[in-house]
Amino acid sequence: MADERSRWRDDFPVRWDDDNYMTRRELAKFLTLGSGLLAGVNGLIAVIGLTGRMPAAPVRRIAAVDDIAPGGSMLFRYPTDEDPCILVRDSSGRFDAFSQVCTHLSCAIVHRPDDHALACPCHRGAFSSSDGRPLAGPPTRRLPRIVVEERDGEIVATGVEV
Amino acid sequence: MESRQQGLTLFSAVLVLIALLVVIQLWLVAAAVDALLSRQTTVLVPTAIASAGLFVLSGGLLSYVVSFDARLRRWSRRG
């Protein structure tokens, strides 16, 4: 046992005299300094969120009105090519569009016309296809709505409502 | 229990309390970043105010315990 201990000490020589100890007082000061930094970061985030201007959403044609039958849907990208969205036409002919990214864990949602829902297959989440509010499953936040208008027989996207 | 031992216990307790407050602040920062990225700006001001309040509380606890320690040391020297 004594030999094992000495081998261990040879392999991992630790000189306790060289160790840097931290007093309770130092640790408390360090934690309070960290607390101040975190408060500053939180304030900075609030300032950025309240004063930062988001770029204006472009006006973009999505499809012709006749391209989608009542109860149908189509995928498009808006406001950038990195933002997948879904355009839904209900049985009355009204158009609604939403982000296709589930607000739970960012899976792609699909249209379920029979349930009037947009469903997320990953964790069985569901959103209303008329206003994007969560109906079932883990999502708690509504889907961002894409503002769409009919102009001369065309469906155009004009903005995003988060 | 001796006063010195009481002081150490108090210091340790305050230390744990400050650490807890810092953990809550970390959670607040995470919530604020999440809200910022999802553009829910209504959450940002309350989290900033809460975080500032926790910082003030941490500072208050630190100054209390440091002054308590100083008083204890003075008292020990006299005794």
Shared domain check, A15 and A77: no
Check residues B66 and B56 and name the one with the higher pLDDT: B56
User: pTM (2 decimals)?
Assistant: 0.59
**The predicted structure's pLDDT at residue A17:** 65
Q: Which two tokens stand for residue B37?
A: 């990225």
Q: Which domain holds residue A129?
A: 60-161
Q: For residues A129 and A74, state if they share a domain.
A: yes
pLDDT value of residue A159: 87
- Secondary structure element (H or E) that encloses residue B44, with its range: helix B44-78
Q: Both tokens of residue A137?
A: 């499953």
Chain B residues whose beta carbon lies within 8 Å of the beta carbon of residue A145? none
pLDDT at A25: 83
Give the pLDDT score at B33.
92
* Contact residues, chain A, for B44 at CB < 8 Å: 45-46, 49-50
Record: contact A28-B41, CB cut-off 8 A: no
List, in order, residues 6 or more apart from A123 with CB less than 8 Å away. Answer: A104, A105, A107, A137, A138
Give pLDDT < 70 ranges for chain A: 1-5, 14-20, 53-55
Question: What residues form DSSP beta bridges with A77?
Answer: A84
The total number of structural domains that make up chain A: 2
**What element of type H or E holds A51?**
helix A24-51
Nearest to B51 among A29, A38, A162 (CB): A38
pLDDT digits (tens, 9 = 90+) for B1-52: 566 777 788 888 999 999 999 999 999 999 999 888 877 788 999 999 999 9
- Within this chain, do residues A46 and A78 fall inside the same structural domain, yes or no? no
Tokens in use for A62?
A: 């999505």
Cβ contact, residue pair B59, A36, below 8 Å: yes
Per-residue model confidence (pLDDT) at position A5 = 65
Question: Which of the 8 DSSP states describes residue B32?
Answer: H
Q: Which residues of A touch B69 (CB under 8 A)?
A: 25
pLDDT for the residue A143:
94
Q: Is the domain of A88 the same as that of A28?
A: no
Query: Quick check: A35 and B41 CB within 8 A?
Result: no
Q: Which residue has the higher pLDDT, A135 or B71?
A: A135
